[in-house]
Amino acid sequence: MKNFLKIFFLTTLIFGYSLNSFSAEKVEYLKTDWSFKGLFGKFDRGALQRGYQVYTEVCSSCHSMKYVSYRNLAEKGGPEFTEAQVKAIAASFEVKDGPNADGEMFTRPGKLSDKFVMPYENVKAAQAANGGAYPPDMSVLVKARGGGVDYIYSLLQGYEDPPAGFTLDDGVYYNKYMYGNKIKMSNQLSDGLVEYADGTNATVEQMSKDVTTFLMWTAEPHLEARHKMGFKAIVYLIILTILVYFSMKRIWSRIETEV
Amino acid sequence: MSDQEYTPKSKFGKWFNDRLPLLSLASHLTDYPTPKNLNYWWTFGGILTFCLITQIVTGLTLAMHYIAHADMAFESVEHIMRDVNYGWLIRYIHANGASMFFLAVYIHIFRSLFYGSYKSPREIIWILGIIIYLLMMAAAFMGYVLPWGQMSFWGATVITNLFSAIPLVGEGIVTWLWGGYSVDNPTLTRFFTLHYLIPFLILGLVVLHIWALHVPGNNNPVGIDIKKPSKDTVPFHPYIVIKDGFALLMFMIVFAFFVFYTPNILGHADNYIEADPLVTPAHIVPEWYLLPFYAILRSVPDKLLGVVAMLSAILILAALPWLDTSKIRSAVFRPLYKQFYWILVADVLILGYVGAMPAEGLYLLIARVATAYYFLHFLVILPVLGLKERTLPVPISITEPVLGGSLNLATAKNKESFNNK
Amino acid sequence: MAEKKTNRRDFLFTATYAVGAVGVGATVWPMIDQMNPDASVKALASTEVDVSSVTPGNTITVLWRGKPVFIRRRTQEEIAEAKSVKLEDLKDPQKDEERAKDPEWLVMLGVCTHLGCVPLDQKGDYNGWFCPCHGSHYDISGRIRKGPAPTNMEVPKYEFVNSNTIKIG
């Protein structure tokens, strides 16, 4: 039984890692400590709030986040802005609504229940405005890339001059961590680009980490609840397993005595 | 089946049982004589039943929120993950549950291969199992399409396109499957319907599978026929119930680890990208449990023959009771077969690995060798081995003599007939 | 009654059953709770309505929790009429003050309490609403006066968050 478990875990880990690392190039990503990793991982609220600021001020002009609602910003396990703050955030965006009594669509200030307003009407409009490349929606982007948070964190800092002889078309840039090294998004971050509300020094590395942390939350808003429940579930299962184990021994002892 | 007459204790019980013998059935299941030397490889049948029920319950509750339409499917899954109470939990249980289901079924199958559980008189149990396995693969494949991610869409495209390999009617069959000229909304809606249906077909077949098992009774690690009931058996309840329960809890701990801590590790990142008919992913791969067959499919350069090879790899298992000519059931007493068994295990794991790699270069070569060996094992090695192998002497019974509880190694060279029933 | 001597074996089994039962309960709950209103539905549990454009003598209809809500800005005559009705004349006696805290604004679910049709505005014998399905007449306070409906049109929880906005629910 124990051997089986060992074999099972090994096989799964091998498969898991080989499958996961498969969609990315064999390049070492930049490493940093992520507060949400590990069995007891939690989100850093400050990082989430700063990350939201970076998303809003830098990324949201091209990248939509259509599965996130404004009310999520106030919910437990996320940036945990106050409800008043989030109402103000939502109201700062114009949301399309309607039709009204005249049959026309109109715009109104956003409400808590609205989803994040998209920068473009649809995918084609987004492509047209960005040289044919669609800036991907960011709601689950972290889960949609094999390298996960490390990949995004690295990519944001991975812009550099192409090696000698590497040709780039117009509107294409060299990035060390992008699959194929060619990316149609230019370098967006520079030191001091954002003035953080909490006064943190906005270096490129800081902004990369904060916005990636924010993206991890948008992809997995229930991460903290999941970790908490997981701990309780596994502890519970271990306790029950022990009880059942001794019950089993007790029951099976009945037949050993026979014969 | 020789059950003693069961008389219910209460008057109502007797009245009901006379009309529908459910209480007699319960009594039979409770007292069912089970070999007492079953090891933990035998607990996976119970584990599989748990997996099936888990998938049905979580699937049902997911279906209350999922929308089977190409424009809304991906969004409805995100709605489940974000807004539905405990939606994230139910979705992750269902997705990882599929993997756990296949893990358990592979262990269950490989148990049978090792201990000869497929041999006479258990051929029908075995064949029912193969059919259940095929339905599981169909259900899993269609289930994976439902989130309508990139892998959903392109996996569906690749696999449904395989049918075009059939001469003459192939193209027509593919169009019929698609309900259109490519994988699109009609395909999605019918896959949802069938995905909902198949688990209940599996449930019915599992009932038949267990019923067929209860005729001869369970096989056991020594592979000998035993008298039931006897000193060699224990009543199913409480002995086997508690043991299956213990094994199930261990299984659930592993399951819980995946669900709560690494819920996406067995999946593919590309399936979090919405399906795009204009962009093909760099590497299309099915879920891990289908990888060995994917490897076999791609190892044959011809489209039709690749499909034939893949299907044959599964169907050949149905012929196993007749391909394996050995009169001895359990590999415990077949030292040469035991070695080939483990080579087969390695071969299947290798096929799984190369199935995830691009079908080129060294990977393709390995896939071809492994595929050839797979068929060699069943078509050549097994038949020959059964006839030529020198087997170890098999005990007469499980318990006697029982000093220290060790296996009785009384030679039974002249008593091989015991194993032919 | 029960023996004083606690059988160790029984305790183990009892404990196992008890702990197991906790697990079963914990597992069953999410399956049941997932059918409860989800977060996106609960977010729409209350709705804010801008009533700045509603002039006296006019009714607007808004959607709240999937049902129509009538918001009528009543004229002084209508208010006087609503208050003058004797309670004995009402099938479901209710003072107008109970139904409209601010007498100028009447907010109620536009759902007939008979079988759920939507009554028509400014129709019927009582200068209020008339339900065409089975002929229920409601007055200018939304109270049932004639017809098969058993109770007055329901007044939901609402409040003025500012002079232009009513929050319903």
What DSSP string runs through B195-227? HHHHHHHHHHHHHHHHHHHHTT----TT-----
Nearest beta carbon to residue B402 from set A19, A226, A259: A259
Label residue C26 by pLDDT band (50, 70, 90).
very high
Q: Do C34 and B57 touch (CB under 8 A)?
A: no
Residue from B273, B342, B350, B398 whose CB has the most chain A CBs within 10 Å, to mutate = B273
Segment B172-191 mean pLDDT: 97
What pLDDT was estimated at residue B377? 97
pLDDT(B95) > 70: yes
Tens of pLDDT, residue by residue over B1-10, are 455 678 899 9
Whole-number average pLDDT of chain B:
93
Lowest mean pLDDT: which of B308-322, B329-343, B407-421?
B407-421
Chain A residues within an 8 Å CB radius of C43:
69, 71, 112-113
| Strand partners for A107 | A96
| CB half-sphere exposure, B220, CA atoms < 13 A | 25
A3 pLDDT above the threshold of 70: no
Partner-chain contact B86 C38, CB within 8 Å: no
ipTM of the complex: 0.91
Confidence of residue B205 (pLDDT cuts 50, 70, 90): very high
Is B253 close to A67, i.e. CB distance below 8 A? Answer: no
Whether residue A21 is predicted with pLDDT greater than 50 in this model: the reply is no
Mean pLDDT, residues C83-90 taken together: 91
Taking only the tens place, the pLDDT of each residue in B153-169 is: 999 999 999 999 999 99
Res. B405: pLDDT tops 90: no
Answer yes or no: do B256 and A12 touch at CB < 8 A. Answer: no
Set of chain C residues whose Cβ sits within 8 Å of the Cβ of A112: 43
Give the chain A residue whose CA is nearest to the CA of B237.
A251
Neighbours of chain A (3+ CB pairs under 8 A): B, C
Q: What is the mean pLDDT of residues A142-150?
A: 96
**How many angstroms separate the CA atoms of B81 and C34, rounded?**
11
pLDDT at A12: 61
Mean pLDDT of C93-111: 94
Q: What is the pLDDT of residues A108-131, one digit of tens each?
A: 999 999 999 999 999 999 999 998
Rounded to the nearest angstrom, the gap between the alpha carbon of residue B295 and the centroid of all alpha carbons in its chain is 19
Of chain C, the percentage scoring pLDDT greater than 70 comes to 95
Sign of CA dihedral B360, B361, B363, B369: positive
Q: What is the pLDDT of residue A10?
A: 63
Nearest to A251 among B82, B242, B254 (CB): B242
Query: Is pLDDT of A5 > 70?
Result: no
Decide if C134 is catalytic: yes
CB A8 within 8 A of CB B257: no
Question: Which residue of chain B has the CA closest to A12?
Answer: B266
| B242 contact residues in A (CB cutoff 8 A) | 244, 247-248, 251-252
| Amino acid in the structure at residue B284 | I
Q: Which two tokens stand for residue A236?
A: 């519970």
* Per-residue pLDDT band at A6 (split at 50, 70, 90): low
Mean pLDDT for all residues in chain A: 90
Confidence band of B397 (pLDDT split at 50, 70, 90):
confident
Over residues C3-21, the pLDDT tens digits come to 544 566 689 999 999 999 9
Higher per-residue confidence, B407 vs B294: B294
What is the count of residue pairs from A and B with beta carbons less than 8 Å apart?
Answer: 122
* Chain C residues closer than 8 Å to A113 by CB: 40, 43-44
Give the pLDDT confidence of B53-79 residue by residue, as tens digits.
999 999 999 999 999 999 999 999 999
Q: Are B81 and A144 inside 8 Å of each other by CB? A: no
- Per-residue pLDDT, averaged over B222-229, amounts to 91
Beta bridge partners of A183: A173
Range B311-336 average pLDDT:
96
The answer to whether residue B407 scores a pLDDT higher than 70 is: no
Q: Which two tokens stand for residue A91?
A: 């109201």
Nearest to A227 among B260, B268, B269 (CB): B260
Which is the catalytic residue, given C42, C91, C101, C134? C134
d(CA A187, CA A174) in angstroms, rounded, equals: 9
Bridge partner list, C131: C136
**The predicted structure's pLDDT at residue A17:** 54
pLDDT digits (tens, 9 = 90+) for A208-237: 999 999 999 999 999 999 999 999 999 999
Check CB contact under 8 Å for B85 and C33. yes
| Closest of B253, B301, B309, B174 to residue A244, by C-alpha | B253
